[in-house]
Amino acid sequence: MLFKKEWLHKIPKMLETEDTELEDKEFKLVYYADNIKAKWQIVEAEKEGDDILFFGYIEGFGFADEWGEFTLSQLEEINEAYKSSGLSLKVKKNF
């Protein structure tokens, strides 16, 4: 399981940190896989239908690193793809 619903109340809601400078935003969750440079660093999260919408910093894909939105279901798809290579996403919590 990549995300536990009880974590939602420990992460700021979407747009809750919009007045915080980007360099001062605090990553609450970081998803990563060993031996892969890609990371999904989460600053905000909110339930959206049956999914969780995240805002954070994505890096390590060989093109420009960027701030943006992504969903839990997208992370789950990436995790499934990694499993075919014997890898899986891990999460580091900062709360």
DSSP assignment of 58-88 equals EE-SSS--EEEEEEHHHHHHHHHHHHTTT--
State the pairing for strand pair 29-32/90-93.
antiparallel
Side chain identity, residue 35: N
- Stated pTM of the model: 0.91
User: Model confidence over 73-84: pLDDT tens digits?
Assistant: 999 999 999 888
Q: How far apart are CA 50 and CA 52, in angstroms?
A: 7
**Listed residue (27, 30, 33) closest to 80, CA to CA:** 33
User: Model confidence over 27-65: pLDDT tens digits?
Assistant: 999 999 888 888 999 999 999 999 999 999 999 876 779
